[in-house]
Structure 1
Amino acid sequence: MQTQKTINYFYEYFQIFIGIVLTSLGLKAFLLPNGFLDGGVTGIALLIRTQVDINMSYLLVFFSIPFLVLGYFTVSKRIVIKSVISILGLALFIHFENFQTITNDKLLISIFGGLLVGSGIGIAIRNGSVLDGSEILGVYLNDKFGISIGKIVLIFNIILFAITAFVVSVEVALYSILTYIIAAKVTDTVIEGFEDFIGVTIVSRKYDLIKKAILEELGVGLTVYKGSSGYGTKGIQEDFDIIHSIVNRIDIKKMYRIVQEIDQDAFIVEFDVNSVKGGVLRHYINKKKNKKLHKTTS
């Protein structure tokens, strides 16, 4: 048990190290030499760097301190400790590494700079750390005022890019916005995963037929909940099974077709699923051999 825990810790920090390398590569080989910005604390440090001759690594640590102190009171201590190690690691990499500038094409700088920085930040967040403190600010203000984290980060960056347009140039601000959009999208993709799953909850009086059709035609697992009677437009409803299943996004249309062919009035709730482990989701029924699934879970 202790050995497995040690291996998990090592694997987490190894992935954070990969995130640091990717982020520093994006900064030193693309954004920094060309005066482009990203969002968040990294963007603040990059903006200040365009105005004063101070090492980027010092600026990154300095501007991260208030957010880390804030994080001490808003998120778990483990996340703060990991984040301190990650930010110091990123600062050291930026200070000592000597990546050469890869391109001077502004569009390529924005795209690949954002891609690398977003990948690095996403890997770090996925392993319980942050390389940019603006997310911590978002968590704090969300708890305090109920404003969504996404809106807070967006407003933070709108102000940052507006200042960039005024202090540096509109062109740099526009390219920096492109960098930020790419980085944000890549970060979300890394955190949520590349494989999109959809959760489906189905309520229908013809639940027995729907269960059988899903198992035989779609070949995925499902979970059944017992639904209690209640009131609807037709008065008191009898008890029925509520079907819950997880399918790959590519199969969602087929799922709808199967259900609607049996019951056009079926109530279907669809929701995104970021991660799936265990169950029989990946173990599709072998229809050719006529296998039957005796135990189904999702």
Structure 2
Amino acid sequence: MEKIGLYLGCNIPLKAPDIEQSIRKILPVLGIEPVDLQGASCCPAWGTAPSFDLNTWCAISSRNITIAEAQGVDIMTGCNSCFGVLSEAKHFLDDPARRKAVNQSLAAINREFKGTSDIYHVAHVLHRKVGVEKIRENLKYSLGGLKIAVQTGCHTLWPSDVYKIKEDNPYYPTILRDLCEATGATVPHYSRLESCCGMGGMRSTDVEKSLKLFRDKLLSIKEETDADLIVTTCSSCFLQFDMSQPILKERGLIDFEPIPTFYYTQLLALAMGCDPAQVAALSQIDRSGIISEIQSEQRLIKEVA
């Protein structure tokens, strides 16, 4: 079984621990062993060290990477921002002068950045290391007939020129679509597919602008796909879709019921037969109806004799 370092970041363990449980439950079944990165810290997030000092940022990020290097594994994140921060920090350390300066800082804690561990997102691991065929083989329930609107999120897409592991075309992302289609669901395209949902720095500095951007995207999804559910591989996007749809509904800014939203590994865990109370327990939007639909008896996949 291939091992990979599980880098949880902040959002998932603090705000969505059921996402963590879904990752831990499905990966071993699919041939991937998640290994805890002992002593890992914040990536650090874009609004902290990366915004004021590049060497400080790279020192903190590279310390996290050295933990994976010492354990002999690559890094897998469940958070788009963590993926972007760690990937771009590693890219910055291709510069010999910056690497020397950062390693001088790391020497104070007896560490050295070597650059031997690659940075993956969980979507990359599922798509490239596991593959859609193995996902199909491990489904207990088929999602045939359901329509999914996918939300890839920004920080696995750009800046694409510095990412080693990435989409073939960041302006037409297909990884999450492929993963959702592997469950049997239909994944229609919509015009604002690659657009930002308004989470992150915008949400923390100007809520109204964030909600406007989010509403534009949500209306595109509703009007162009009429999706049964929304699926993302970004923990921040998940939080935005889950907490902001009820706000828009309460203000009368949308005239439809909030669309249930899942992180992809939650959806896959449900389709593989995992207990919803463990892998999809926390949300502001009521997901009980769609969860019951996903795990209904008529969706059980029958073995062919």
Q: TM-score range by the shorter chain?
A: under 0.3
Q: TM-score w.r.t. structure 2 length?
A: 0.21
- Normalising by structure 1, what TM-score? 0.22
Greater helix proportion:
1
